Amino acid sequence: MHENEISLTVMRAAFRVHTTLGPGLLESVYEAALVHELRKAGLQVAAQVPLPVVYDGVRLELGFRLDILVEKKVIVEVKSVEGLLDVHHKQLLTYLKLTNLKLGQLINLNVVSLKDHIVRIVNGL
């Protein structure tokens, strides 16, 4: 499955989760519901995937984790915040660079309307 197809499935699943649960919940609740929806859609999904950092040839196990990794191709970062900040976008881009993946989605579910709160981030590799 291509990254764009995965991305579309993730967006649809996020809308289902948001429509069902609404805003105001913890990130962990939205993440678990999104994982469930993506698995129902038949996708391979891993949650809380460890992300080591290699610096100067040394592997640093620092506890960084990807919220959701779909089909080993798309990183999904789930947020439940008042508003996305530039640092949230940069965080996902850094994760994409560290994993050499092309596409990530940043989703803030703590909003009244999800329409403008799903952001695709592309790693230029």
Q: What does residue 114 show for φ and ψ, rounded to 5 degrees?
A: -75, -15
C-alpha 22/C-alpha 104 separation (Å) is 23
C-alpha 98/C-alpha 92 separation (Å) is 10
C-alpha 112/C-alpha 84 separation (Å) is 14
Overall number of domains in the chain: 1
Domain that holds residue 50: 3-122
pLDDT tens, residue by residue, 52-105 = 888 899 988 887 899 999 999 999 999 999 999 999 999 999 999 999 999 999
Note the pTM of the prediction, 2 decimals. Answer: 0.94
pLDDT tens, residue by residue, 3-57 = 999 999 999 999 999 999 999 999 999 999 999 999 999 999 999 999 988 889 9
Per DSSP, what are the bridge partners of residue 119? Answer: 106
